């Protein structure tokens, strides 16, 4: 089927289409005569709008007067009838099926080795709704949807500049998924765009069903704990990234956009930071930094100090911990891992189960498991408190939740094995990995490492909007 040209005989062409599609019931073939020439209009059921295809395609075409040849008929339709704003030409069966499966109607005529396609999409899709994972107070309450064209329009509505470029291409030999590369041509480094296109050109996958299918191709191939390409489901956030000189990739069917490059400090920034006073935004930002450290290190510090460094505690606190831990039948390391594993199972159950069952999960985890574990002496109250504080800190930085979850377990094992020395060794290894992470020449930890004083006004603190506007920041300043 691939790259095979259309057959000039209409009967042979329809027979080939039925053979390739296996007689699929949703492939609709409507034969008719217009202008004295036998034609067929092909589409997929459920992918087109019945009212649009009737009013804009069938009625104008069936009313054409007699033509001398199929070429004259197609020329008349192309040049004198405005049936659709999106009218690609079809020259092979691969293109024909890709367009039909994307909501196009394809017109074939006896004696023609090409066809005309008309965009009459009418498939069901979810409307624009508030983002579920990136809440805000002062910003817009619109999020991306699964329809790539709607997502493109949301960006164009906010950035009306002609410098905004959107390039659509298809990936996936079986899924034929539409991807869209977005960037501001006057802001983004051309080298970055060329490298992204080269990386995507090397993709050889059967299907692209989510952003996870393309991220390995646009990220550095070496082992990285943190993602050098980010995601967002907010149009306003993506527009701010594009203005800073980044590139974004939409995947049809996914309500997220992949942003390239991503920086570590961005995980602690939200759009609300720029709606409040700088002093309050700076306070919230530092609160998130502390919450991240507590989420990763607090349980491991508790384990290391109780097991190896009790001299760091005053006598009163030490006696309280001894009294609480002496009733627990498990070692502190085993106890800590057990509590964290129990929390992860409860959270996964809450995410995967149907929403009506969410209340039951909360009751079981909070009243039965948690209360029973403490009262039975299986888990000590101080350890449960430290774990709860660490989990709460991780919820403050949801973008880094996968990394926080894994690092929390690793630091507990390191602290339980070698104490504070083990935590220090693992922290050095994590820092080395983070500092070595980069994507297309953009260090992940900049402006902290390598240090860029120009970027600290929106990293260590949140400067006044006027100052940031006067500086005219773009990520090209961070390129190494």
Kind plus residue range of the DSSP H or E element containing 279:
helix 278-308
Tokens describing residue 185: 């041509």
Question: How far is 233 from 245, CA to CA, in rounded Å?
Answer: 18
Picking from 226, 202, 232, the residue whose alpha carbon sits closest to that of residue 214 is 202
How far is residue 194's CA from residue 97's CA, in Å, rounded to a whole number? Answer: 30
Per-residue pLDDT of the chain (480 residues; tens, 9 = 90+): 446 789 889 999 999 999 999 889 989 999 999 888 999 999 998 888 888 888 888 888 888 888 888 889 888 888 888 777 788 889 999 889 989 988 899 999 999 999 999 988 887 778 888 887 787 888 788 899 988 989 999 999 999 999 999 999 889 888 889 999 999 998 998 899 999 999 988 888 888 998 889 988 888 777 889 988 999 999 999 999 999 899 999 999 999 999 999 999 999 988 888 888 889 999 999 999 999 999 999 999 999 998 888 888 888 877 877 777 777 777 889 888 988 888 888 788 777 777 666 666 666 666 566 666 666 667 777 888 888 899 999 989 988 999 999 999 999 999 999 999 999 999 999 999 999 888 888 899 988 888 888 778 888 888 877 777 766 677 777 776
pTM score, whole prediction: 0.85
- Residue identified by tokens 């930085």 is 397
CA angle 321, 325, 326 (to 5 degrees): 115
HSE-CB for 168 with a 13 A CA cutoff: 8
Residue 143: Cβ within 10 Å count: 22
Q: Residue ranges of the alpha helices (H) in 210-253?
A: 215-218, 235-243
Tokens representing residue 95 in the block? 């293109």
The residues pairing with 247 across neighbouring beta strands, listed in sequence order, are 183, 260
Residue 354, token pair as written in the block: 């149907």
């Amino acid at each position: 089927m691939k790259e095979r040209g259309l057959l000039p005989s209409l009967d042979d062409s329809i027979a080939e289409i039925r053979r390739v599609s296996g007689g699929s019931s949703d492939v609709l073939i409507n034969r008719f005569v217009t202008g004295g020439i036998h034609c067929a209009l092909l589409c997929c059921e459920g992918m087109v709008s019945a009212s649009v295809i009737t009013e804009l395609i069938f009625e104008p075409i069936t009313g054409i007067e007699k033509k001398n040849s199929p070429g004259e008929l197609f020329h008349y339709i192309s040049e004198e009838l405005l049936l659709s704003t999106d009218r690609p030409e079809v020259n092979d069966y691969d293109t024909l099926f890709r367009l039909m499966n994307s909501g196009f109607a394809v017109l074939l005529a006896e004696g023609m080795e090409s066809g005309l396609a008309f965009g009459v999409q009418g498939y069901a899709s979810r409307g624009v709704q508030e983002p579920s994972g990136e809440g805000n107070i002062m910003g817009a309450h619109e999020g991306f949807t699964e329809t790539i064209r709607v997502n493109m329009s949301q960006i164009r509505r906010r950035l009306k500049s002609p410098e905004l470029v959107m390039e659509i291409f298809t990936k996936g030999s079986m899924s034929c998924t539409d991807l869209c590369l977005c960037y501001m041509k006057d802001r983004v480094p051309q080298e970055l765009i060329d490298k992204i296109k080269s990386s995507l050109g090397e993709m050889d996958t059967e299907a692209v069903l989510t952003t996870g299918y393309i991220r390995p191709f646009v990220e550095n191939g070496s082992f990285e704990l943190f993602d050098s390409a980010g995601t967002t489901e907010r149009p306003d956030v993506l527009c701010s990234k594009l203005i800073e000189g980044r590139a974004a990739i939409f995947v049809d069917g996914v309500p997220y956009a992949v942003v390239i490059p991503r920086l570590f400090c961005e995980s602690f920034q939200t759009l609300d930071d720029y709606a409040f006073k700088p002093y309050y935004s700076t306070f919230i930002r530092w609160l998130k930094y502390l919450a991240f450290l507590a989420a990763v290190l607090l349980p491991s510090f508790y384990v290391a100090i109780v097991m190896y460094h009790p001299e760091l505690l005053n006598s009163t606190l030490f006696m309280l911990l001894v009294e609480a831990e002496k009733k627990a039948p498990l070692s502190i390391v085993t106890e800590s891992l057990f509590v964290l594993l129990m929390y992860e199972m409860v959270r996964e159950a809450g995410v995967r189960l149907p929403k009506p069952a969410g209340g039951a999960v909360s009751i079981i985890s909070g009243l039965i498991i948690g209360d029973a574990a403490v009262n039975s002496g299986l888990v000590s109250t101080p350890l449960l408190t430290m774990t709860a504080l660490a989990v709460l800190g991780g919820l403050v930085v949801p973008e880094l939740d996968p990394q926080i979850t894994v690092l929390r377990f690793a630091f507990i094992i390191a602290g339980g094995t070698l104490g504070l020395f083990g935590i220090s060794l693992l922290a050095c290894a994590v820092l080395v990995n983070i500092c070595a992470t980069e994507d297309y020449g953009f260090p992940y930890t900049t402006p902290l490492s390598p240090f860029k004083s120009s970027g600290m006004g929106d990293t260590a603190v949140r400067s006044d909007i006027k100052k940031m506007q006067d500086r005219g920041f773009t990520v090209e300043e961070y390129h190494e």
